Structure 1
Amino acid sequence: MNLPDYLALALFSVCWLAFAWVTGQKKVLPRVSLTQAMGEWRRHWIMNSLYRDLKMIDTQIMAGLQNGTAFFASTSIFAIGGCFALLGATQEVDAVFRDLPLLSHGGRSAFELKVCGLTAIFGYSFFKFGWSYRLFNYCTILFGSMPMAERARQAPEAARAAAERVIRVNILAAANFNAGLRAIFLSIGYLGWFAGPYVFMLTTLFVFFVLLRRQFFSDARRVVLADVIERSDSPSESGVFKPDPIGHHEDSL
């Protein structure tokens, strides 16, 4: 470990925190991120479910969200196991790195330290996916307690309060899922550290800008915000995204 290694690690941490901040639940930039827009579409979905009694579609969506979270949680466990297997083969890997040209090799101790860092990243992602799965489970229970369409019409305020609970838990579950997925994406940039600190910086910046493009300049974002952009006077919307025609909420993302 030398100064470039510490600088590369600091850059990795800054990129991680900055990306989480600009794409989080609170709007900190004039341009709405894809994650924030999808948070509003979650609200739109739950509010619409108040006015239909047949909720099989909604339960299928909930099951799909849970299954996707469980898949990535299992993937994180396998990745952690692969890291421990890599630690067990440190001597063989160290011999391979010594023979490779144009690579900055810091020795066996540095390699083990880097693998431990990679293990910590996958451990973080597993805890995020695990908590997201639990929150989606809670969200399903809360969704089951929502009133039927007739009762929602008779007591709209109570129905909206019940829907709001489901919305908030669903958005929290999605935030934890996104945090775990972000860790997996950034672990690709972390792999550059094994080739040296300067490669680590390049791969970190590459992954960081790819993720930023997906959040703020991707085709998926344009599709999600198509109706908002068409209603806007300028190509880049600056207002708060509210797709819900049923009811507006002051605390929208």
Structure 2
Amino acid sequence: MDMNAPLPGPFTLADLLTVGWLFVAWLGIGWITEHPPRSHPSVSAVMKSYRREWMRHFVTRDPRIFDANILTSLREGTAFFASACMIAIGGGLALIGNTDQLAGVARQFDLEHVPALKWEIKIVLVLFFVANALLRFIWSHRLFGYCAILMASVPNDPNDPRALPSAMQAAEINITAARSYNSGLRCVYFALAAVGWLAGPLALFVTTGYVIFITIRREFASHSRRAIMQHIPADPSLIPSDGQRKDAGNR
């Protein structure tokens, strides 16, 4: 099978296969990260138990300024990435309106003539992931705002029967906000991978593979994960066996 065989339109079979590889990797990484095996949870999954533990301690902490500062920091992170995505979208749209610059760069590297439509579609692919990331970050920012309101509604008296249930409500909203935030970050990673398509299908295949490697390593085999796994708040689904702890320590 000739991977460079032309198809109807400006693309080849290799282009379609590598774009498919990009989307499969994006969806697959998201699923594995959010639904990891119990025997080897991801950092995102482990942090859920820490967020619940945070809210348990929040009930008895006085004053609660420390918790407010943490939540403010989380919201600032989502706002920063949302702003960066908006700038990137604006730049991408401007580039679509002037693809002659990209064509000029391609000619400098002695690349074959590429139709303007092909450049535009490649840029649109990058913008798809950036726009998706923007929506995720905006929703995460709003959810952290909801979490702040729920935290403010927790009674000051730790013995109040409504205190712990209200704190656990805030914890679940916090977890949902973090899930959207992590999803937005993955979209940014794969937007960077999609940039490789500007150099051709082989470059897209390589950049996608690299993003997969980086994401899997950070979620399942990083030094930070080993540190987090040293002491996990009580959560039976996330507490590893002695053998798993020993194996993690030997890596």
State whether TM-score is above 0.5.
Answer: yes
2:36/2:45 contact within 8 Å kept:
yes
User: Relative contact order, CA 8 A, sep 6+: which one is greater?
Assistant: 1
Aligned match of 2:45? 36
Match of residue 192 from structure 1: 196
Q: Structure 1 pair 89/154, CA: closer, same or farther in 2 (3 Å)?
A: closer
Q: Does 2:124 align with 1:116?
A: yes
Q: Match of 2:172?
A: 168
Q: How many residues align?
A: 232
1:147 pairs with one of 150, 155, 162: 155
Distance 1:63 1:78 in 2: 23
d(CA) in 2 for partners of 1:45 and 1:105? 57
Unaligned runs of 5+ residues in structure 1 are 239-253
Spell out, residue by residue over 1:208-248, the C-alpha distance to the aligned partner (whole angstroms, 9 max, x if none).
1111001000000001001359984213589xxxxxxxxxx
1:93 paired with 2:139, answer no
**Partner of residue 214 from structure 1, selected from 208, 212, 218:** 218
Are the counterparts in 1 of residues 81 and 137 from structure 2 also a CA contact under 8 Å? yes
Tell me the secondary structure at the aligned position of residue 146 of structure 1: coil
Alpha-carbon distance in structure 1 between the residues aligned to 2:69 and 2:112:
50
Q: 1:191, 1:223 → 2: CA distance? A: 33
Question: CA 1:237–1:44 in 2, change beyond 3 Å: closer, same or farther?
Answer: farther
Residue 247 of structure 1: aligned partner? none
Q: Is the CA contact (8 Å cut-off) linking 2:39 and 2:240 kept in structure 1?
A: no
Runs of 4 or more above 4 Å deviation = 228-231
* Alignment pair present for 1:8 and 2:14: no
* Structure-2 residue corresponding to 1:234: 243
Hey, what's the Cα distance between the residues in 2 that align with 1:86 and 1:193? 15
For 2:210 and 2:175, how far apart are their aligned partners in 1? 28
Aligned with 1:62 (options 45, 67, 71): 71
| TM-score normalised according to structure 1 size | 0.86
The TM-score, its normalising length taken from structure 2, stands at 0.86
Structure 2: 5+ residue stretches without partners: 1-10, 233-237
Of all paired residues, the percent bearing the same amino acid is 34
1:104 deviation in Å? 6.5
Change (3 A) 1:123 1:230: closer
- The counterpart of 2:86, out of the listed 72, 77, 81, is 77
Post-superposition Cα deviations, 1:76-106, rounded to whole Å, max 9, x if no partner, equal 00100110121122112112213314x5664
